[in-house]
Amino acid sequence: MNSIIAIVGRPNVGKSTFFNRLVQKREAIVDAVSGVTRDRHYGKSDWNGKEFSIIDTGGYTIGSDDIFEEEIRKQVALAIDEADIIVFVVDVEDGITPMDAEVAKILRKVKKPIFIAVNKVDNAMRAANAVEFYNLGLGDYHTISSINGSGTGDLLDAITKKIPDIEIEESSEESKEEQLPRFAVVGRPNAGKSSFINALIGEDRNIVTNIAGTTRDAIDTKYNRFGFDFNLVDTAGIRKKSKVKEDLEFYSVMRAVRSIEYSDVIILVVDATRGFEGQDQNIFWLAEKNRKGVVILVNKWDLIEKETNTMRDFKARVTKEIEPFTDVPIVFISALTKQRLFKAIETAVDVFKNRKNRISTSKFNDTMLEIVKHNPPPAIKGKFVKIKYCMQLPTPTPQFVFFCNLPQYVKDPYKRFVENKLREIYNFSGVPITIYFRQK
């Protein structure tokens, strides 16, 4: 489970620069997703061998100071709810402002690790001025310069000490059987997530047990429906949020981040009357980057006027939007009329099983080496790539490695060809696959 780090602070203190430095300047960066507004708000990074996700709560309303204050309170509340670690960015040029003091007052009550990053410290004089930030009452501070990167390494060293090491449990076959699927139901506001959950589990909420999650916000609730046992990751994303104007979309994505990190399979609920929109793509992207299983549920299908190929056409449009990862089950449902709810859960359980697929090395070599022998990578500069051996890695999600003489000459189109062949032969529907080419 990745830890989530939230960056909070006033506008223009350099939160986004700090965020961009973390997500772009590391080789291990996966990517940053464009948020609802002009800023990018979510990224993944790693440091000292520990992977973590970063939320930049920053900068979307432009307005008077009182609007800003309200906005910052919301950002801090979001960070407190959703993050494991909070980085509070302040500006050495401005010193402690009333708004900084206000944020510090809220943060002093929080039981999570909090780091003060005093930004724009690029000379000794400014380093001396930073002492005043002790007055925030949040303990020690770190001086950084987001623009040139000085100090960020030390700050990250301190942060990663607070991130627990991931223990890989060597579980027996029996206990593997007992691991229940963890489903998170996510989607944009008003797509029908709550209606789907209520239709699925019934108003009586036949809860078997409550297992407290790792944070007070992610609670696994065990259900048995249609003969399937599963855990629903009940996070803040499922709670009804008060309507916030233009940032409602942003908050919904940030809530989804937490649900996604804590689940095995993401059930993405899409509103059939609105189509597959940018926000749905963002959430899909998050699930894929986190290597989670995905099922897309097209809800409110009862409201759509049907012709012969309505379903096929809708499916084709969604598939186009999620390229290149298109091997994803799409189920058309109606939470209102309870249409295909069984199919939805059955599909999610199948995806959970697919994610745990293990292929024996000998079988894998027999099949895949034959394919790559007949369809080798195209030669580059007269150099021929010879693939000698391949195997599935012992990772929690499906990852494969192909050993060859010149891995640098294997380009993306060929990787996609190998992945497509692999998907044709083995069932990895709904599951992101990672393929590596390495020197033997």
- Domains in the chain: ranges and CATH: 3-162 (3.40.50.300), 182-355 (3.40.50.300), 361-439 (3.30.300.20)
**What is the Cα–Cα distance from 126 to 143, expressed in whole angstroms?**
9
What's this model's pTM, rounded to 2 decimal places? 0.67
**Dihedral, 70, 75, 76, 77 alpha carbons, nearest 10:** 90
pLDDT (tens digit per residue) in 307-320: 878 899 999 999 99
421 touches 370 (CB < 8 A): no
Tokens of 104: 């510090």
**What is the Cα–Cα distance from 234 to 228, expressed in whole angstroms?**
18
Binding-site positions read 9-16, 56-60, 119-122, 187-194, 234-238, 299-302
Residues 6 or more apart in contact with residue 353 via CB below 8 angstroms: none
pLDDT (tens digit per residue) in 220-271: 677 777 788 888 875 443 333 444 444 555 566 666 677 787 789 999 999 9
Tokens of 361: 């090395």
Question: Which of 118-132, 204-218, 258-272, 343-357 is least confident?
Answer: 204-218
Binding-site positions for GTP read 9-16, 56-60, 119-122, 187-194, 234-238, 299-302
Predicted local confidence at residue 237, as pLDDT: 39
The arithmetic mean of pLDDT across residues 358-367, rounded, is 92
Report whether the peptide linkage leading into residue 324 is cis, meaning its omega lies within 30 degrees of zero. yes
Residue from 350, 357, 322 nearest 265 by CA? 350
